[in-house]
Amino acid sequence: MDHIKTHHQDQFRKETLKLYNQRISAAIGIGIILIPLFSLLDYVIVKPFFSLFFIYRVTCSALLLLLFYFHRTETGRRGPFTITILVDFIICMMISSMVVHLGGYSSSYYVGILLILVITTALLPLDTIQSLTIGVMLFLLYCIPIILYSQPTEKNLPIFFNNCFFFISFILTSIVKCHEDTKARKREFNL
């Protein structure tokens, strides 16, 4: 029951695209609102960086707003996964910049990237490959700036290993979740 018959595959793709387009607006909207609200956290936790991080957050939200409106065009509605990649890339680059400013290897701000992964894979009807793609992209966008721009120490490497371990666990869980959701959508479609 998890397999779509060949003559119905196009209809299933259209229904999935419609669902994706409905949900991506909500996902981008969450980002547009939540990203500036996290300035409250910056103010309490990292006051010396508040002004810089506020600029990052407002810029990020403005870019997401542009993508939100682009998604509403005919061209944007044909490629919601591309928009998802762009949205996640923009937000992750902002957070990765913050992580590097806050010590890189030992920064707790990496959790924001996990939040991106959770929101993306919980709201959007991603298949297994799409979920894997998002997870790997986010993980690399977390790791590469840290490795390039931060100094490893005996103290911060175990913290980085811990963060990576949890990150990979979230990715694997997200992949399984998206795989099971896709199977459920196919079963429902076949009914």
Which residues make Cβ contacts (< 8 Å) with residue 13, sequence separation at least 6? none
Q: What band does 2 get if pLDDT is binned at 50, 70 and 90?
A: low
3-state secondary structure 57-90: HHHHHHHHHHHHHHHCCHHHHHCHHHHHHHHHHH
Average pLDDT over residues 1-18: 80
DSSP code for 150: S
pTM: 0.93
pLDDT, mean over the chain: 94
Average pLDDT over residues 139-148: 97
Which residues make Cβ contacts (< 8 Å) with residue 72, sequence separation at least 6? 25
Q: Quick check: 130 pLDDT over 50?
A: yes
- Res 191: pLDDT: 73
Q: What is the pLDDT of residues 92-120, one digit of tens each?
A: 999 999 999 999 999 999 999 999 999 99
Rounded to whole angstroms, the Cα distance separating 61 from 144 reads 23
- Res 188: pLDDT: 83
- Res 51: pLDDT: 98
The answer to whether the beta carbons of residues 138 and 117 sit under 8 Å apart is yes
Residue at 183: amino acid letter: K
- Res 1: pLDDT: 46
The answer to whether the beta carbons of residues 121 and 131 sit under 8 Å apart is yes
